[in-house]
A and B are shown apart, each in its own frame.
Chain A
């Protein structure tokens, strides 16, 4: 699904906003789905992914290049493990080929930009939870502070 269709699909919006909310409250238990399991593999060009599962579906959010930056993606997997929806979320700025052959950078529409921002936020929260970043920082701060 392209970003324009995703943003116009109320269900996708509800899913993303619901996940953001659950990530903030800690209700969403994110796990490493693929890719980044060590520093060595970070930014290797291969996608990373962090997943949240309900009883019957799994949502995966990740960075397509594995570097933590856009483009991001959002996948939805059904109860049989089948990928039923894939949403690619490009960067907020796109390059457009002009008639003279040059590339011009264009801002996306406000709706697309908003969706990109939501996905970026969701990715950051999912990654933080899955890698238990806050626990590590707390322990380290306590150790170094004593």
Chain B
């Protein structure tokens, strides 16, 4: 074997471990990158979920306020105020619905109640505007009952979410 052949052979054999080392580094880097991407995705999901939860905790008291103002408007027999608060309810209830995930069974029940309240409030408002109602208290009973059902369910949800936020804060 010539010197040249020996050098060539040696280079070929020594290249193998370096190639393997290089290959191993590439695999590890790819694995770390994937893990980092997954971690980033999980963090984004958690942030989104926390934002939704915090938004709900802000919106729920607003819905309760709408309910109170609607009751006050009915007691004072003010058609204009009733119309205003019914519109307010539709808009805010729609926002809450957008924040609730459809995945949980508890949320499904609230989503149905929200939908029902939105539909009934639209009807009640339309009837008042059309002038087809005689007594505001009677004609708004169905919508007030529907709204009360929603605020009761959301109140329970808010209590749970508040506890969940407290727990995650303590964990951090």
Contact = CB atoms under 8 A, between A and B. Distances in A.
Interface string B114-152: 011011111110010000100000110110011000000
B90 A33 contact: no
Contacts of A46: 132
A51 B132 contact: no
A58 B141 CA distance: 18
Interface string A18-55: 00000000000101111001100100001001010111
Contacts of B111: 55-56
A79 B138 contact: no
B108 interface: yes
Interface string A72-106: 00000101111100000000000000000000000
Nearest to B126: A83
A81 B142 contact: no
A57 interface: yes
B119 A38 contact: no
A81 B116 contact: no
B45 interface: no
A58 B102 contact: no
A31 B116 CA distance: 9
Contacts of B142: 31-34, 37
A55 B102 contact: yes
A132 to B, nearest CB: 13
A60 B146 CA distance: 15
Contacts of A34: 120, 123-124, 127, 139, 142
Contacts of A41: 138
Contacts of B119: 33, 51, 53, 58, 60, 77, 81
Interface of A: 29, 31-34, 37-38, 41, 46, 49, 51, 53-58, 60, 77, 79-83
Q: What 10 pairs between A and B have smallest CB-CB spacing?
A: A81-B122, A58-B119, A53-B116, A77-B119, A53-B115, A55-B111, A81-B118, A53-B112, A32-B142, A81-B119
Interface of B: 90, 94, 97, 102, 108, 111-113, 115-116, 118-124, 127, 132, 138-139, 141-142, 145-146
